[in-house]
Chains A and B, each alone.
Chain A
Amino acid sequence: MKKLWITLTYLVFIILLIIPLIRIFYGSWAEGWEGFIKALSRPQSLHALQMTGTIVVLVTLINTIFGVMLAIYLVRATWLGPRIKQFLNSLVDLPFAVSPVIGGLMIVLLLGPHTVIGSFFEDSGFKVVYALPGMVLATLFVTFPLMVREVMPVLQEIGSQQEEAASTLGAYSWYTFWKVTWPAIRWGVIYGVVLTVARSMGEFGAVLVVSGNIMNKTQTATTLVYQDVENFNVLAANSVALVLATISIALLLLMEWAKKRKGH
């Protein structure tokens, strides 16, 4: 009985994960190395990958700083009442509960060219929706819980006594953060960064709604794959997908390593 279940698990694993991966690999190599390179060196491919790269870097940076900050406030701040903390805490999980497409839609409805805020930005020459800022915002919305949820339990676990000890020894908050808090939460943050990178690289729905998917302008790697599939350009779709999948696997390995270090 046990053996049957183990076999079944492997079977599901192979059908759902391994076979598609192999398919992507073969699909991108259907015309050999040349076809793969050709598909990737199309201007729209290069632009889309670059776009994804930009979004990943910006989102990871912003999410790391604000995620760690919010985690610290939610765990440590005594000036926030318990009710407000509870409310903020449940708000953090909102992106987990809400579909990314709806997240993107909210941004369009709030900051689109026909809204008050949107037209204000537009008038001052700063386009939000159907441009990079909107796409970064949409990806931020989706990835926001990842960092907070990684760092909060670590902060709770180490408690505030080490920080209090540092304050009685004359250290102010910035010094205490870098010398006492940071070394304790470092691996949690790295784990959060890996998750954020992976998630923002693969984000599709929210970005699709916000970007309008304009080729060579607001197209990301994932939306390009979508478009290539729509155009029956399977080879190109496979090639871009392979690049994304390879990076994802590398990230997963990095994550495993970070997780192991976190335990120490």
Chain B
Amino acid sequence: MHIEVNQLNKHFGDFHAVNNVSFTIEKGRLIGLLGPSGGGKTSILRMLAGLETPDTGDIVFHGKRVNDLPPQERGIGFVFQNYALFKHMTVFDNIAFGLKVKKQPKDQIRERVMSLVELTGLKGFEHRYPHQLSGGQRQRVAFARALAPEPQLLLLDEPFAAIDAKIRQELRTWLKDMIERLGITSIFVTHDQDEAIEVADEIMIINKGRLEQKGTPWDIYKNPQTQFVASFIGESTIVSEVHKLKGFEDASSWAGTKALIRPEYIEVGKTSEFKIISATETGRIKHIHFRGSEWMVEVQVGDVTLITYRSLEKEVLHPGEEVNVLVHRAYLFNDTDSWIMENKLKEDPMPVHI
């Protein structure tokens, strides 16, 4: 289903939950609504479902305005955060609910439910009640139930929030495959950036009721358009006096400019590990933390502490050791503008002023 949302607004009392949000979604895409809790993501999802009425703005499905259609008529499937399974019904009856409402013939319902049970790997569990299932199984029942009436749009509210970390990983992959296979337009809400980056074709970053940026995960990571997006996606350190760092002296020509530096923009190591020593700073290792697959290194450069990662393959650094630090690039921003600045010394192998 092709979806278009124009100038959507929603207030809850004095709280402006959704603020002038507009976007379009192509048919068959898997979209992640990403943002901090209480940012308005769920409100947008609920308005798309018809569970909440927008104050102003239009919601258009397939070129038809659906604002005044009740949820029953919108042809959507909704997976709730806590699944909201019907407690007193078996897995079979839960999945069959949407089909029974439509008064489909019994054998047809049976066929469709059994095929969904098969698809979601719930075979053998049809006669269990929700309280007899694990979190992951409940999630799959909720998914199957939402899909049963063949909706044109699938909406998922924090679909993995209530599942423990290990199974979450499996379910993410499973859900992505499943949605790709069915080709159904889907929107899911999450506050977990890894989840959004991993699962979604496209991400919409929502903060304080506003749509900050919409794009592919790579796009958003590479070209954050607002400071919020830059700081929300990935890890980062904010440096207020960036012109003090080598290679970024030019930054001083914009007053009040700060920099956001991601760990992966920073390289740290012994002098022998760098080709262009002139582009590096000297720093002192403050702390190192073992992170399972790499070291996380806190390094003190002047009065700034930078955070970066270091491969386990390289020589182990120790706290207090003096090291060289190369900052490849920084994301600069001030009140009016934001841009990416490369380390200019790194670009020039024979700097003139040395």
Q: Determine which of A159, A172, A179 lies in contact with B72 in the assembled complex, contact meaning CB atoms within 8 Å.
A: A172
Contact pick for A170, options B51, B80, B102, CB 8 Å = B102
Task: Say yes or no for B174: interface residue by CB 8 A criterion.
Answer: no
Q: Of the 9-residue stretches B29-37, B82-90, B311-319, which lies at the interface with chain A? A: B82-90
B301 to chain A, nearest CB (A): 51
A263 an interface residue at 8 Å Cβ cutoff?
Answer: no
- Inter-chain contact A169/B87, CB cutoff 8 Å: no
Q: Is the CB of B97 within 8 A of A171?
A: yes
How far apart sit A167 and B80, CA to CA, in the bound complex (Å)?
12
Query: Once the chains bind, are A166 and B97 in contact (CB under 8 Å)?
Result: yes
Q: What's the Cα separation between A180 and B89 when bound, in Å?
A: 9
B84–A162 contact, CB under 8 A?
A: yes
Residues of A within 8 Å of B77, CB to CB, are: 168-169
Asked if B159 is an interface residue, CB under 8 A from chain A, the answer is no
In the A-B complex, the 6 residue pairs with the smallest Cβ-Cβ separation, listed nearest first, are A169-B98, A161-B84, A168-B78, A165-B84, A183-B88, A170-B101
- B70 touches A (CB below 8 Å): yes
Cβ contacts under 8 Å, A234 to chain B? none
User: How near does chain A come to B60, taking the closest CB pair, in angstroms?
Assistant: 19
Is the C-beta of B149 less than 8 angstroms from some C-beta in chain A? Answer: yes
Tally of chain A residues near chain B (CB < 8 A) = 18
Q: Which of A158, A169, A171, A179 has the most CB of B within 10 A?
A: A169
For A167, the chain B residues whose CB sits under 8 A away are 50-51, 70-72
Contact A168 B146 (CB under 8 A): yes
B101 touches A165 (CB 8 A): no
In the complex, chain A residues 159-203 whose Cβ is within 8 Å of any chain B Cβ: 159, 161-162, 164-172, 175, 179-180, 183-184
Rounded to whole Å, the gap between the CB of A189 and the closest CB of chain B is 14
Cβ contacts A to B, 11 pairs, < 8 Å:
A161-B80, A162-B86, A164-B51, A165-B80, A165-B145, A166-B97, A167-B70, A168-B146, A169-B146, A172-B72, A184-B88
Chain A CB within 10 A, most for which of B50, B82, B87, B97 = B97
Residue numbers in B under 8 Å from A162 (CB-CB): 84-87
Set of chain B residues within 8 Å of A169, measured between Cβ atoms: 77, 97-98, 101, 145-146, 148-149
Q: Is B76 an interface residue when CB atoms closer than 8 A count as contact?
A: yes
Bound complex: CA A184 to CA B86 (Å)? 9
Chain B window 141-174, contacts with chain A (Cβ cutoff 8 Å), 1 for yes, 0 for no: 0000110110000000000000000000000000
Give the docked Cα–Cα distance between A41 and B154 (Å): 69
Task: Mark each residue of chain A from 49 to 82: 1 if its CB lies under 8 Å from any CB of chain B, else 0.
Answer: 0000000000000000000000000000000000
Q: Does B49 contact A (CB under 8 A)?
A: yes
A161: chain B residues at CB < 8 Å are: 80, 82, 84
Residue on A nearest B80 in the bound complex, by CB: A161
Closest to B151 in A: A168
List A contacts of B145 (CB < 8 A).
Answer: 165, 169
Chain B positions 32-83 with a Cβ under 8 Å from a chain A Cβ = 49-51, 70-72, 74, 76-78, 80, 82
Please name all residues of chain A whose beta carbon is closer than 8 Å to the beta carbon of B71 when the two chains form the complex: 164, 167-168
Q: Which residues on the B side are within 8 Å of A175 (C-beta)?
A: 101
Question: Which residues of A128-165 are within 8 A (CB) of B?
Answer: 158-159, 161-162, 164-165
Report yes or no: A164 in contact with B80, Cβ–Cβ below 8 A. Answer: yes
Output the least CB separation between B54 and chain A (Å).
14
Q: Are A168 and B49 in contact (CB under 8 A)?
A: yes
Q: Which residues in B have their C-beta under 8 angstroms from that of A170?
A: 72, 98, 101-102, 149
Nearest Cβ on chain B to A94's Cβ, whole angstroms = 29
Contacting pair A168 B101 (CB below 8 A): no
- In the complex, besides A166-B86, A169-B146, 5 extra interface pairs with C-beta distance below 8 angstroms are A164-B51, A165-B86, A168-B71, A169-B97, A180-B86
Q: How far is the CA of A167 from the CA of B87 in the complex (A)?
A: 16
B85: which A residues are within 8 A, CB to CB?
A: 162, 165
Which residues of chain A come closer than 8 Å to B51, judged between CB atoms?
164, 167-168
Interchain CA distance A184-B84 in the complex, whole Å: 13
Q: How far is the CB of A155 from chain B (nearest CB, A)?
A: 14
The answer for the CA separation of A179 and B78 in the assembled complex, in Å, is 18
**Residue in A closest to B157 when the chains form the complex, CB atoms:** A161
